[in-house]
């Protein structure tokens, strides 16, 4: 196992926001507009928190879980990867 604590690790926390509205179903759903807490950035329907501290993966994940029920980000698309890298 590589010593991740000796490498620079960008911690990206993904905070889930639950928003529900009582509207009839539409054939095409508009992209959600969300309001993120100060210090975070919105992308799609999530808020991302970027932290440049050096942490192991486990510690980074625990840090995110303690922030508004967040999770360490798992980049699933090329577009999301570009957002996180920018």
Least confident segment among 2-16, 32-46, 56-70: 2-16
Cα–Cα dist 85/45, whole Å: 18
Beta-bridge mates of residue 70: 15
The CB density around residue 72, as the number of other CB atoms within 10 Å, is 18
Domains of the chain: 34-86 (3.10.100.10)
Q: What is the pLDDT of residues 43-72, one digit of tens each?
A: 988 899 998 899 999 999 999 999 877 889
Nearest Cα to 85, choosing from 41, 39, 35, 33?
41
């Amino acid at each position: 196992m590589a010593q991740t604590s000796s490498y620079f690790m960008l911690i990206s926390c993904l905070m889930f926001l639950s928003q529900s509205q009582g509207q009839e179903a539409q054939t095409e759903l508009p992209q959600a507009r969300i309001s993120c807490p100060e210090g975070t950035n919105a992308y799609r329907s999530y808020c991302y928190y970027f932290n440049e501290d050096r942490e192991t993966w486990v510690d980074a994940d625990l840090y995110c879980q303690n922030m508004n029920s967040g999770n360490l980000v798992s980049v699933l698309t090329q577009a999301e990867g570009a957002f996180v890298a920018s």
